[in-house]
Structure 1
Amino acid sequence: MGLVPCPLPCHTSTESKEESSTSNSTSSLLSGSSTFSSLSSQPSLPSVPSLTPSKSNQLVVLRSSSVHHCCIATLQSQSYICTLALSGNFLYSGSSDGQIAAWSSTLSRPSNPQYNKVVATVATPSTVKFLVVVGSGDDRNKLLFGAHQDHKIRVWKTNTNDTYEKLKCIATLPTLKDRVTRFLCSKNYVQIGLHKNGTWEHHIDAVSALAISNDGSFLYSVSWDRALKIWRTSDFKCMDSVSNAHDDAINAVILSSDGAFVYTGSADKKIKVWTWRKDKSTSVKLVGTLEKHKSAVNALAFSTDGSVLYSGACDRSVLVWERDGGADGGGGDMVVVGALRGHTKAVLCLAVAADLLCSGSADYSVRVWRRLSSGLVGGDLNRSYCCLAVLEGHKRPVKCLTAALDNSDSDHSGDSYFVYSGSLDCDIKNIVVSVTDS
């Protein structure tokens, strides 16, 4: 791994790039299960209105805002970058060769001599599909959870500092204690195949995504085996499991801002809404199903205030969902209000930072979206979004994203954001996006 000069030049955007013509070429990622997660350009959603304003209106918006983006570094890996996670002063990356790296001073400028230095690594037995950090305060007091292709969830202590060292693995889920306890009781076995049974806390295919509760007490995992599981982070015990949560591989999981609802996105084209209460004896309960995508759902993200759900799929669109009855509506029910279009291939990942939404795609690009100022337009609520920038430079599909507001540039008249994109070209790009409103 290393730091190399970034080939992506600086740009000042006063108008959006014209959308490229739709490609008929296709490519696929083979999952470990019986299904394909397509990267091809699936049909879009004509029945869902576009939230992107017309080109003339978008030019007016962009002229009133100065948008500048610059790639300040390219971090090189030896294999595909599959997941990224930001925590404190560290960026954690997981790759297809099982390597996890912690990069220091990731929120600093290139003038810092420690800029983007690898300070910790670990070699795992399997592809790292997803990373999430649990805990607050000093980085030494946090836990890093990794989801893996070999059906396991591994836990590390984030004891990173300014010297190169290995992360310490402290647990593998399910734990040996959990496995032995379940093994001895026949009621803990469920059917996991046509002629095969297993204990219900085991995933039997790649663990594809993780989510953490607001207080850090519970971890939610989903897998290509179609299961949703809940783990207690204090002792790593599996608390509950739904063995057939979807009809196909599950690719994404996210919690609502209040922690009351769990959303899962699947290759069966559906987003399902679940509830689970730790203080109740009832198990996980399905309370809703969102069906508007025409192909596999790959990514989910919530707006900062939790009122809007974004979903990216192989149909090249990012759907925008709002709570039924408005932002203050109760329950987990969401209604689709429109689609963000512009990508020419599957949308693979999403990230939110303050008022920006970033979407990464199999078309090798990252698009940066911003919701226009709300208000009534012709008696209707304005829900339009503007594509502020199209970030190019990757040579393969963009597999993962993370983003953060830059709080260090207090003298700047606008807002600056750090966007990190990981790709199947083995690179991580560190891009600064600055937005100044006139």
Structure 2
Amino acid sequence: MLIHLCSSANCATATHQSTISLPKFHRSHKQYQHTSESSSGPEAPTPSTSQDSTSTSTTNSTLYSNLSIQTLPSLPSLQNLSSQSLNFSISHHSLTSLTPHPSHPVTSLAVHHNLLYAATGHQITVYDRHTYTTLHTFNSLSTSSGSTKAITFSKHTIFTTHQDCKIRVWHHHNNTHRMLTSLPTVNDRLRRFLLPNNYITIRRHNKRLWIEHADAVTGLAVSNGVIYSVSWDKTLKIWRVSDLRCVESLKAHEDAVNAIAVSNDGTVYTGSADRRIRVWAKPVGEKRHVLVATLEKHKSAVNALALNDDGSVLFSGACDRSILVWEKEDSANHMVVSGALRGHQKAILCLINVSDLLLSGSADRTVRIWKRGYDGRFCCLAVLDGHRKPVKSLAAIPECDETSDDDTVSVFSGSLDGEIKVWRVSITHNPELNS
């Protein structure tokens, strides 16, 4: 399988064989020094042992600015593209800047209907995404919860993940947000705390229920009535939306899990500081998720994952500065790497896919916009520049413009400098260039 790719701001193409051989990985993003054991409860055949949840106190800006960079081998057959080779053009401009809390980095962004959610520290600020006015601010009531790592939605319910190992559940009504509970719930704990086999050892003389995360919950996804959470404790946990009970806990990786993506068919992808992406699925007729495949091409910690709209293409970003493109081959039942998108000068920290656009945020303080043309080639269409520190979070939503045939997307980028930039991106299609 061959795929043409476009690299850097000059948009170069490359023909890349899916059987490319890469050097052995040798660097991880978050280091752990502990041992693990595994025990299981009645509903968790293989709950993972979490590790020592204490971590070094380092500022975010220093952490992401000093990531060790490993580079992938150069792709063969690079050549420049002229602007006439593209069948679309792009324009972009910055609309405004928002500063929810100047002294705190923006750690997570999310768009839900007409609202923009921005997490800074333990607070979440809600904006009207059209007028950019502040509507409401809510928080976990305790600064000990640490930073908010992820925000996602299920109808009127908001789920947030935090540094203090918890997932919090909020209800939204009339521009107010009320916390309903945190996961695992009190009822879930009471059901299990009396049975010794519901406990796992996370470090010497320290045990926890297997339904509890033991380190920062770094990623969250909600799909088809199921909540998926990943953590620096190396586990993937699966919860039911209906009763908020944890039903599975899996030892997912050998190091901190930094990212998760879930396709519409329920296939789960997890990315880790152990440089691997693992693929999980629930076979027909089975009650538990199983490991389907391990994808190994990155040379350093995997920080971000994104799927295209139909789940046929997976994008992964890592500290090696590259975004790998994974696709299914006819002869394979899982994804294989088909190429790399290059251009960022430092680690990739976040990825999102919206309206056939891939957006990537990096420690190099820029956002890049990528798109696949009708001929199958990926190109870097634009570089959004203006942040003073690493871009840690992205959100985007298509805009409906009845007066124009252009595709318009609102993009929100959050940085460790505490600032959110709002961008308007328009794509004009030029079908006459196909001839």
Smaller-chain TM-score bracket: 0.7 to 0.9
1:222 alignment counterpart? 230
- Ranges in structure 2 where 5+ consecutive residues have no aligned partner: 1-6, 12-28, 33-52, 431-435
| Partner residue, 2:107 | 82
**Structure 1 position 182 matched with structure 2 position 196:** no
What does residue 83 of structure 2 align with?
59
C-alpha change, 1:431 and 1:151, in structure 2 (3 Å) is same
Match of 2:72 in 1: 45
Shift of 1:29: 8.6
Partner amino acid, structure 2, of 1:218: V
For residue 266 of structure 1, the aligned residue among 272, 275, 279 is 272
Q: Which amino acid in structure 1 is aligned with residue 70 of structure 2? A: P
Query: 392, 412, 431: which one pairs with 2:423?
Result: 431
Match of 2:379 in 1: 386
Tell me if the contact between 1:16 and 1:59 (Cα under 8 Å) persists in the aligned partners.
no
Whole-Å separation in 1 of the counterparts to 2:8 and 2:174:
40
Say whether 1:362 aligns with 2:363. Answer: yes
Per the TM alignment, residue 94 of structure 1 is displaced from its structure 2 partner at its CA by 1.2
1:167 partner SS: strand
- The SS at the match of 1:158 is strand
Q: Please tell me whether the aligned partners of residues 50 and 339 of structure 1 are also in contact (alpha carbons under 8 angstroms).
A: no
Structure 1 counterpart of 2:281: 275
CA distance in 1, matches of 2:72, 2:301: 13
Once residues 373 and 360 of structure 1 are traced to their aligned partners in structure 2, the CA distance between those partners, rounded to angstroms, is 25
Kindly tell me: are residues 373 and 156 of structure 1, through their superposed partners in 2, closer, same or farther at Cα, counting changes over 3 Å? same
CA distance in 1, matches of 2:76, 2:115: 37
SS of the residue corresponding to residue 173 of structure 2 reads: coil
**Structure 1 residue 288 and structure 2 residue 293: aligned?**
yes
Q: CA deviation at 1:145?
A: 0.1
Equivalent position amino acid for 2:192 in 1 = R
Matched, 1:133 2:133: no
State the alpha-carbon separation in 2 of the partners of residues 361 and 432 from structure 1.
19
Q: Deviations over 1:81-139 (max 9, x none)?
A: 1111111111111122x0011112x1x3xxxxxx012212112232101000112xxxx
Offset at 1:16? Answer: 7.6
Q: What secondary structure, in the 3-state scheme, does the structure 2 residue paired with 1:247 have? A: coil
**1:181 counterpart SS class:** helix
Q: Distance in 1 between matches of 2:83 and 2:148?
A: 41
Of the three residues 305, 314, 319, the one matched with 1:314 is: 319
- For residue 232 of structure 1, what is the aligned residue in structure 2? 240
- Scaled by the length of structure 1, what TM-score is found? 0.80
Looking at structure 1, the residues matched to 253 and 8 of structure 2 have their Cα atoms a distance apart, in angstroms, of 38
Question: Contact conserved, 2:8 with 2:344, CA < 8 A, in 1?
Answer: no
Identical residues among aligned pairs (%): 45
1:152-184 C-alpha deviation (Å, 9 max, x unpaired): 0000012243xxxx4100011111111111111
Q: Check the 8 A contact 1:129/1:147 in 2, yes or no.
A: yes
Equivalent positions of 1:86-165 (< 5 A) are 86-96=111-121, 98-104=122-128, 106=129, 108=130, 115-124=131-140, 125=142, 126=145, 127-135=147-155, 142-161=156-175
Deviation at 1:67, TM superposition (A): 1.7
Call closer, same or farther: CA 1:90–1:195 in 2, change over 3 Å.
Answer: same
Which structure ranks higher in relative contact order (CA pairs < 8 Å, sequence separation ≥ 6)?
2
Q: Is the 8 Å Cα contact of residues 361 and 394 (structure 2) preserved in structure 1?
A: yes
> Residue by residue, what CA displacement relative to the aligned partner does 1:373-407 show, whole Å, maximum 9, x if unpaired?
13xxxxxxx4x211110000110100011112111
CA apart distance, 1:75: 1.0
Are 2:363 and 2:390, in contact at CA under 8 Å, matched by a contact in 1? yes
Summarize the Cα distance change of 1:90–1:38 in structure 2 as closer, same or farther, 3 Å threshold: closer
TM-score calculated relative to the size of structure 2: 0.81
Give the letter for the 2:317 counterpart: G
Give, in whole Å, the separation in 2 of the partners of 1:18 and 1:160. Answer: 47
1:73 to 96, 102, 105: 96
Q: Which residue of 2 aligns with 1:342?
A: 343
What secondary structure does 1:180 align onto? Answer: helix
Q: Give secondary structure in 1 for the equivalent of 2:118.
A: strand
**Quick one: distance in 2 between partners of 1:205 and 1:270?**
20
Which residue, 302, 305, 314 being the options, matches 1:297?
302
Question: What do you get for the CA RMSD once the two structures are aligned?
Answer: 2.4
